[in-house]
Amino acid sequence: MRISSSLLQSRSLTGMQKQQTTMEEAYTKVITNQRITNPSDDAYGSARLVGLDNEMSKNGQYSSTRTEMNNQLKLQETALGSATDALQDVRTRVVQALNGTLTDENRSALAKDLRGGYETLASVANTRDGSGNYLFSGYKSDQAPFNIDESTMTITQTASGQDYQGGDRMSYRVDASRTVSGVVTADSAFKTSDGENLFNVIKDMVNALETPTEDGTTSVSSIQETLSAGLKKLDSGMDNISIVRAEGGTRMNEISALDTQWADNKVNLQDSIDKLGVTDMAEAISNYSLSQVGYEAAIRSYAMLNGTSLMDLL
């Protein structure tokens, strides 16, 4: 069969264009250091690479979440440590106040110390994090957990009669199969085993200490009864804070273990990505060189058929 010169020229042009495309793809692999630049390069490998990249991204998000949660738990530990110190100081003053030989003036001075402990506890309960959010308010982090008037030692209650103004405790997704509770809410942290608010416990003891006895209207023994009852509640509240702190330490350890596990998995995952997606540079350069030779040969062939010089086409 006779083949026309125009058909030969068309085929030669098509071949030259294909060789150019091959050369450009080979060059792209060299400069990007990526073995797969198009799904057609390796359909299975491309799909696998997308899956590995998604896994890396998702686990990176879990890692960021764990970092955020760990920072919050560290703030919790610092705040509750301060609360414990304040309550321990209050306890020391209450024990002193149980001395039956104290005068009204002595008890009044101790009451001032208890007011100081109350104010410290209020400050701790309404702690803010680095972003200005209330640490112990759960999901309502823009709302102070307690609306406290320190001068009158009064807490404004909600419409339902609750002292706590915050929301439910937050939870965090820390890996693909695990959700962990975050910072405890203030209503759970600052209470006795019977659920009584520690602020009210201290307030009752302050009121008792500020009540005069020298006029005979109130007996020292009745004040001591109030203080003894308050001391038991105070110990119960301190025990509760210790439990909360221990729980927080356990969660921080859990996060640390997950971070260690992810550090190992990340190395293996990145290795798989590199093996699948990163160019074998020696092979890529060799392929590029061969494609250049093929492209130049295609140009020469086309030039011969069209009666043009090679330099005109390069």
CA–chain centroid gap for 133, Å, is: 14
User: What is the pLDDT averaged over residues 83-97?
Assistant: 97
> What backbone torsions phi and psi does residue 34 show, to the nearest 5 degrees?
-115, 125
Residue 299: which H helix or E strand, with range? helix 281-306
What is the C-alpha to C-alpha distance for residues 302 and 216, in angstroms, rounded to an integer?
Answer: 121
Q: What is the pTM of this model?
A: 0.75
Residue 310: pLDDT above 50?
no
User: What is the pLDDT averaged over residues 194-216?
Assistant: 94
Joined together, the tokens standing for residue 264 give: 């190992």
User: What is the pLDDT averaged over residues 87-110?
Assistant: 95
Tell me which of 205 and 259 has the higher pLDDT.
205
List, for residues 27-75, the tens digit of each pLDDT value: 566 555 565 556 656 665 566 766 767 777 788 899 999 999 999 999 9
Neighbours of 246 (CB within 10 A): 10
Label residue 313 by pLDDT band (50, 70, 90).
very low
CA–chain centroid gap for 67, Å, is: 4
Q: Which pairing describes strands 171-175 and 178-181: parallel, antiparallel, or unpaired?
A: antiparallel
Contact 108, 210 (CB under 8 A): yes
List, for residues 165-180, the tens digit of each pLDDT value: 999 999 999 998 889 9
What is the residue type of 163? D
Q: Which residues of 78-90 are buried (b: 16+ CB within 10 A; e: fewer)?
A: ebbeebbebbeeb
Residue 311's pLDDT is: 46
Residue 24: pLDDT above 90?
no
Length of the chain, please?
A: 314
Residue 209: pLDDT above 80?
yes
Residue 255: pLDDT above 80?
yes
Residue 280: pLDDT above 80?
no
Contact 134, 143 (CB under 8 A): yes
Q: Which of 124-133, 241-250, 257-266, 271-280 has the lowest mean pLDDT?
A: 271-280
113: Cβ–Cβ under 8 A, 6 or more apart, which residues? Answer: 89, 90, 93
Q: Which of 107-111, 120-124, 129-133, 216-220 has the lowest mean pLDDT?
A: 216-220
Contact 57, 77 (CB under 8 A): no
Residue 4's pLDDT is: 57
Contact 289, 31 (CB under 8 A): no
Label residue 182 by pLDDT band (50, 70, 90).
very high
Contact 155, 163 (CB under 8 A): yes
Neighbours of 242 (CB within 10 A): 12
Question: How buried is 75 (Cβ within 10 angstroms: 0-12 exposed, 13-18 middle, 19+ buried)?
Answer: middle
**Distance between terminal CA atoms of the chain?**
33
Label residue 215 by pLDDT band (50, 70, 90).
confident
Q: What average pLDDT does the structure give for the chain?
A: 83
Q: CA angle, corner 138, sides to 195 and 88, nearest 5?
A: 50
The share of the chain scoring above pLDDT 70, in percent, equals 70
Contact 281, 103 (CB under 8 A): no
